[in-house]
Amino acid sequence: MSRKKIIAAVAAASLLALTGCGANAGAGNSAAAAGDFPKKGKSIDLIVAFSSGGAVDTAARLIQPVLEKELGTNVEVINKPGAGGQIGYTALTGAKPDGYTIGATGSPSVVVSPLDPARGAKYTRDSFQPLGRQVIDPTVIAVQPDSPYQTLKELLDAVKAKPKSLTASTTGIQTGEHFALAQIQESTGSEFAPVHFSEGASQATTAFLGKHVDVLVANVSDVNDLSKQGKARVLGVMSGDRAPSLPEIPTFKESGYDLTAGTARGYSAPAGLPADVAKKLEAAIEKAIEDPAVVQKMKDLGLQTSYLNGTEYQKFWAGQEDDFKKVLPLVQKKD
Amino acid sequence: MGRAGAALTLAAVGSFIGGTIATVGLVAAAKPLGEMGLLVGPPEFFALMVVGISLLVALAGKSMVKALISGALGLLISMVGIDPVAGAPRFTFGIDNLMDGVSFVAVIVGVFGLSEILSFRRSEPTPVVHAPGFRQLFPSRTEWRRSAPAMARGTGVGFGLGLIPGMTGSVSSLLSYATEKRFSRFRSELGKGAVEGVAGPETANNAHANAALIPLFTLGIPASPTIAVLMGAFLQQGLTPGPSLFTEHSEIAWAIIASLFIGNVLLLLLNVPLVGLWTSILRVPTPILTAVILVFMVIGAYTINFSVFDVYVMIGFGLLGLALRNLDIPLAPMVLTLVLGPLMERSLRESLEISQGDFTVFTSRPISAVLIGLGLLIICSPLLKLRKPKALMEDPEA
């Protein structure tokens, strides 16, 4: 009997000790953080709010080794997908602003999610401290390789005549793709039936390849390989200029529809970083984004590096928020 | 029972067989298999989930009502978190830690591990475990013979499910266990030391892990987060996984496949000869062993997310598990629905978006129609008494 009591006491004590450890470590960190960031052996978490294999995740994993070199400590990419990025962003803004947690932030997801009260987002634009923008990735529309539509106009006219006759993929409600479809509907009257794949771009692409959706709405970086292999026919790019990796694809403007849409991707920390920590992180991120090997690999993936530093990124972000506030009612309809 | 050595050996051998066969599949028929995986769209995925949940019937044991309660509980728990399509939190009571849902590992460790330890207290002096002699370390002839069909079924289940993008490894293990429970001749012994319960799931999850590489190599699509890390590694080296890997960098592709075979062999070599070493852990007096296990469980739950909250989750579910055990409610159905629930919900919504609200999407597509039919058949089978009625009456577990 007494033996069992001893065992129980040991177990209970270890439980308490563990809880105590957790509390102490937290307090210790914020005090030491300012002077010697980053502490050797303490790894930095890079939260990616989307599933592995997608463009955001790939870009984060590409800068990861350079960041590790610049900061002298481990950088761990952690995927927290779901709810169009909201789960990951909540985790990012909920973390301590001590520099040990940063995250990949992509618009429109990060700009839009706090705007719609129905989503109950626990953060606003001010909860983030932008550190640097990496790329802008325009949206494209692609159809199956055996589809009867050869041009964008043919596709849009067909859907206008028969609303919701074709299904189009998105990566979730109020994601870039959803916005793009709403913009198309608003200005051309062509209404697609959106199918939301909340696990991300790779899930949407898989469904498209299996011919379970008719139209793939994605970014240039997602369709590059597919287009080259002939598995998707890209009909239009929603940007001002043609995409360098897909030079033969006309822009929407050239086809007669003046619409631009796309995602901007960068990195941020929870707001409230100590000034020197922010400086170190920004410098490391700039080095990583501008690193020639990284730029080349991003180019191979179809992504044009377009760096903006923390302050400029913040301005860009505010501008985007104004733009999206205007179009928000279009994507708020209950689908 | 008391066949720890044999169990470890069977697990190792089963894993080897499952993994090797899956790798052979990769080599022999990657492209067509990869394309088969694509045939599974949201409606087919949902239909598969229906089959999976129908196997809950197999896990029922004596009381169907209690099994259903357990299953419903699992579904309820799986609903906690952020709604995957609408983006609004549900059942989180405002607790941020619950936004991601209840941590699966914490639940499992609690429900199975902690509740088992807690239930020790109530029994008589715990039995003394004898360290097994050398002969007893390895499975007997009978055990090998019984394992063979289980391993074969496990390989089939694991390989098939591994090809489907989005399917996690735990689904394979669970469904293999459920398959054994439903189709094995010795199913009444499952839970009491039947070798099929080890051989099947172990084989399944290795077959799954190796088969999951097929969508990566043939289509460039990562089937699970683990594979996605692998894909990231490829991309960082400038290699794009997909069909072009075999044509442009064939020496690398084949080198990786060769390493898969070698890995499987190493698995066998590391596990089997050292079985004696692992089982000698049982020589530690049970109370001390139990305390050590408890400490490991707490540490394990903590390290999921470096959050003490998960430890509380584990403890809570440990108490829940204890309550369920005392009420004689089976635990396995709850785990099954906890894993399959979210997958089922997601695929149901996607399917209905594709069909725009039309439920016939499930019956008008051949693959999903067949699968749903299979699921319904499995659910109704106890009623139809498909096996010999006499055997059913003698078998108390039917």
Domain boundaries of chain A, sorted by first residue: 38-137+263-331, 138-237
pLDDT digits (tens, 9 = 90+) for A146-179: 999 999 999 999 999 999 899 999 988 777 888 8
The pLDDT assigned to A243 comes to 84
What is the distance between the alpha carbons of residues B147 and B71, in angstroms, rounded to a whole number? 28
DSSP, res A251? B
Backbone CA torsion sign across A65, A70, A73, A76: negative
Q: In DSSP terms, which residues pair with A263 in a beta bridge?
A: A137
Contact A172 B85 (CB under 8 A): yes
CB-nearest to A212 from B41, B89, B222 is B41
Sign of the torsion formed by the C-alpha atoms of B208, B214, B217 and B222: negative
What percent of chain B shows pLDDT beyond 90? 5
Helix (H, G, I), strand (E, B) or coil at A135: strand
Contact A173 B87 (CB under 8 A): yes
CA separation for the pair B320, B108 (Å, rounded): 11
pLDDT-derived band of residue A129, with 50, 70 and 90 as boundaries? very high
Q: Using the beta-carbon criterion (under 8 Å), do B87 and A206 form an inter-chain contact? A: no
What residues in A contact B100, CB-CB < 8 Å?
80, 82, 87, 91
pLDDT band at residue B45 using 50, 70 and 90 as cut-offs: confident
Chain B neighbours among A 270-309 (CB < 8 Å)? 297, 300-301
Contact: A87, B82; criterion CB under 8 Å: yes
Interchain contact A25–B (C-beta under 8 A): no
Antiparallel, parallel or unpaired: β B81-82 and A167-170: unpaired
Task: Kindly state whether A172 is in contact with chain B, defined as any CB-CB distance less than 8 angstroms.
Answer: yes
**CB < 8 Å to B243, chain A:** 229
CA distances from A283 to A132, A272, A277, B7, B189 (A): 9, 17, 10, 54, 63
Residue range B121-171, pLDDT digits in tens = 655 555 555 555 555 667 777 788 888 888 888 888 888 888 877 677 778
- List all residues 6 or more positions away from A292 whose beta carbon is below 8 Å from its beta carbon: none
| Distances in whole angstroms, Cα of residue B104 to Cα of each of A101, A144, B338, B340 | 23, 38, 8, 12
Question: Inter-chain contact A82–B356, Cβ cutoff 8 Å?
Answer: no
Are the C-beta atoms of B337 and B56 separated by less than 8 Å?
Answer: yes
**Looking at A22-31, A100-109, A313-322, B105-114, which range is the least confident one?**
A22-31
Residues B179, B57: Cα–Cα separation, whole Å? 11
Domain range annotation of chain B = 4-394
Contacts across the A-B interface (CB distance below 8 Å): 153
Cα separation, A245 vs B88, in Å, equals 37
Q: What is the pLDDT of residue B244?
A: 67
Which residues on B lie below 8 Å from A53 (Cβ)?
A: 221-222, 228, 231-232
Mean per-residue pLDDT over chain B, rounded: 78
* Size of chain B in residues: 398
Neighboring chain A residues of B81 at a CB cutoff of 8 Å: 82
From the list A22, A83, A210, the residue facing B87 with the nearest CB is A83
Pseudo-torsion of CA B60, B61, B62, B65, nearest 10°?
-10
Q: A65 and B298: CB-CB below 8 Å? A: no
Q: Does pLDDT of B49 surpass 50?
A: yes
Q: How far is CA A237 from the centre of its chain?
A: 19
What pLDDT is attached to residue A26? 40
Q: Is the CB of residue A205 less than 8 Å from the CB of residue B221?
A: yes
Q: Minimal CA–CA distance to A320: which of A271, A260, A251, A275? A: A260
- pLDDT value of position B338: 86
What are B259-303's pLDDT values in tens digits? 888 888 888 888 877 777 777 777 778 788 888 989 999 998 887
Give the ipTM: 0.70
Q: Is A158 on the interface with B (CB under 8 A)?
A: no
- Output Rg (C-alpha) for chain B, integer angstroms: 22
If we measure between CA atoms, which residue out of A59, A21, A5, A11 comes closest to residue A305?
A59
Tell me the shortest Cα–Cα distance from B228 to chain A, in angstroms.
5
The whole-angstrom distance between B35's CA and the closest CA on chain A is 8
The closest of B45, B47, B59, B51 to B334, measured between CA atoms, is B59
- The residues, ordered by sequence, that sit 6+ positions from B356 with a Cβ below 8 Å of its Cβ are A164, A193
Q: How do strand B89-90 and strand B81-82 relate by DSSP bridges?
A: antiparallel
d(CA B391, CA B398) in angstroms, rounded, equals 9
A residues 29-68 closer than 8 Å to B (CB): 51-53, 57-58, 61-62, 65
Q: pLDDT tens-digit profile of A11-26?
A: 666 666 555 444 434 4
pTM: 0.72
Tell which of A3, A123, A195 to mutate to test the B interface (max B CBs under 10 Å): A195
Looking at beta carbons, which residues of chain B come within 8 Å of A215? none
Token readout for B18 is: 């499952």
Whether the per-residue pLDDT at A334 is higher than 90: the answer is: no
Q: How many CA atoms lie within 13 A of A133 on its CB side?
A: 20
- The tokens for A138 are 């325009």
| Integer Cα distance of A177 and A139 in angstroms | 7
In chain B, residues with a C-beta closer than 8 Å to the C-beta of A193 are: 353-354, 356
**A-interface mutation test, from B109, B239, B294, most A Cβ less than 10 A away:** B294
Is residue B54 within 8 Å of B375, Cβ to Cβ? yes
In the stretch 110-139 of chain A, residues with CB closer than 8 A to chain B read: 113, 118-120, 122
| Rounded distance between C-alpha atoms, residue B344 and residue B133, angstroms | 47
Mutating which of A29, A198, A215, A333 best tests the B interface, going by the most B Cβ atoms within 10 A? A198
Q: Write the secondary structure of chain B as one string of H (helix), E (strand) and C (coil).
A: CCCHHHHHHHHHHHHHHHHHHHHHHHHHHHHHHHHHHHCCCHHHHHHHHHHHHHHHHCCCCCCHHHHHHHHHHHHHHHCCEECCCCCCEECCCCCHHHCCCCCHHHHHHHHHHHHHHHHHCCCCCCCCCCCCCHHHHCCCHHHHHHHHHHHHHHHHHHHHHHCCCCCCHHHHHHHHHHHHHHHCCCHHHCCCCCCHHHHHHHHHHHHHHHHCHHHHHHHCCCCCHHHHHHHHHHHHCCCCCCHHHHHHCHHHHHHHHHHHHHHHHHHHHHHCCCHHHHHHHHHCCHHHHHHHHHHHHHHHHHCCCCCHHHHHHHHHHHHHHHHHHHCCCCCHHHHHHHHHHHHHHHHHHHHHHHHCCCCCHHHHCHHHHHHHHHHHHHHHHHHHCCCCHHHHHHCCCC
Measured CA to CA, the distance from residue B101 to residue B207 in angstroms comes to: 28
| pLDDT at residue B398 in the model | 41
pLDDT, tens digit, 9 for 90 and up, residues A212-223: 999 999 988 778
C-alpha A84/C-alpha A86 separation (Å) is 6
Amino acid identity for residue B32 in this structure: P
Angstroms from B176 CA to nearest CA on chain A: 25
Give the CA angle between residues B129, B133, B138 to the nearest 5°.
105
Amino acid letter, residue B132 = P
Q: What is the pLDDT of residues B360-386, one digit of tens each?
A: 888 888 888 888 888 888 777 766 654
Q: From CA B1, how far away is CA A43, in angstroms rounded? A: 43
Burial of A13 (0-12, 13-18, 19+ CB in 10 A): exposed
Instruction: Tell me which CATH code domain A38-137+263-331 carries.
Output: 3.40.190.150
Check B298 against A80: CB less than 8 A apart.
Answer: no
Distance in Å, alpha carbon of B231 to nearest chain A alpha carbon = 7
Q: What is the CATH number of domain A138-237?
A: 3.40.190.10
Which chain B residue's Cα is nearest to A83? B87
Q: Which of A14-23, A68-77, B7-16, B304-313 has the lowest mean pLDDT?
A: A14-23
Contact B38 A209 (CB under 8 A): yes
- R_g of chain A computed on alpha carbons: 22
Contact A51 B228 (CB under 8 A): yes
What span, in angstroms and rounded, lies between the C-alpha atoms of A77 and A63?
A: 10
Which of B18, B27, B31, B19 shows the shortest CA–CA distance to B254?
B27
First to last CA, chain A: 63
Phi-psi region of B24 (alpha: psi -120 to 50; beta: other; left: phi over 0): alpha
Question: What's the residue count for chain A?
Answer: 335
Q: Provide φ and ψ at A228, rounded to 5°.
A: -60, -35
pLDDT (tens digit per residue) in B6-26: 788 888 888 888 888 888 887
Only one residue has tokens 């001893």, namely: A6
Per DSSP, A141 falls in state E
**Amino acid making up residue A30:** S
Q: Are A215 and A154 in contact (CB under 8 A)?
A: no
Q: Name the minimum distance, in Å, from the CA of B61 to any CA of chain A.
A: 33
